[in-house]
Homo-oligomer: A and B are copies of this chain.
Amino acid sequence: MILGETMLRKLKQHSRLDAADETAIRQLSCQLRELADGEDFIHQGDEPRSSAVVLSGTLARYHTLKGGRRQYLSLHIKGDWPDAQGLFIDRMDHSVCAMENSAVCSIPHRELIKLFRDRPTLGFAIWRETLIDAAIFREAITNNSSRSGIRRLAHFFAEIYFRSDSIGLVSENNCRLPLTQTQLGELLGMSIITVHRHLQTIRKSRVADLKGGNLMVRNWSKLAAMGDFDPQYLHMRVQPLR
């Protein structure tokens, strides 16, 4: 089953699971949901009753600001749990939407909690998953607060490329990144104009390029250097890119 394999591949990046754990995961029930580009998956204020794993596509968490503008908080690809942060929370403090046509698989909290009681190790693995989420949030604070525009953009590109690679979504130096320049600005805390100007610089230096929702990395080590990117905060046991 796709859900089981996707979950396992992701969880094994950071956690050790035994055969019984794997079996338990494969037996989870899955409620498939397809999302259209731009569609909200869960909305700020909702009471979460299930949590989902991304099977395909790209989702994002976001805050809605006074005046309706958005602050995107994080981007989620295959294997991620875009609403895991709602696990033990009464009401969502943020929303989650699809950035392109996507598919997710929902698991009721009731079933997850039973799983955690029966197999604490699996609970710890998913807890770890939410802690890595938090580490990514911390890095985003640092990125958006203390790095210059161009480094900020480069760091984000490096992170998404690295994460895509680790789940097997990079081919020929390309990965998906279906964000408009406006959305990149709403993620990185800068205006579309500034995003555009720095993007041009990155293009001209032949480090990376973003076109048609695809990120092409021409020079990985230069990109990582430009963004001060050090993947330690992603807490993976194996580190694919070098």
Does A164 make an interface contact (CB < 8 A)?
no
| Residues in B whose Cβ lies below 8 Å from that of A123 | 116, 120, 123
Q: Are A91 and B232 in contact (CB under 8 A)?
A: yes
Q: Are A93 and B135 in contact (CB under 8 A)?
A: yes
Does A87 make an interface contact (CB < 8 A)?
yes
Q: In the complex, A90 Cα to B117 Cα: how many Å?
A: 23
Copies in the complex: 2
Given contact pairs A130-B131, A138-B93, A146 touches B88 in the complex (Cβ within 8 A): no
- The DSSP consensus for interface residues of chain A is helix
Q: Are A85 and B145 in contact (CB under 8 A)?
A: no
Q: Are A141 and B71 in contact (CB under 8 A)?
A: yes
A14–chain B nearest beta-carbon distance, Å = 9
Q: In the complex, A67 Cα to B242 Cα: how many Å?
A: 23
Q: Which residues of A contact B (CB under 8 A)?
A: 61, 63, 65-66, 69, 71, 73, 85, 87-91, 93-94, 113, 116-117, 120, 123-124, 127-128, 130-135, 137-142, 144-146, 186, 188-189, 228, 232-233, 235
10 inter-chain pairs at a CB distance below 8 angstroms, sorted by A residue, are A63-B142, A65-B142, A85-B131, A85-B138, A113-B124, A130-B134, A133-B134, A137-B140, A140-B141, A146-B186
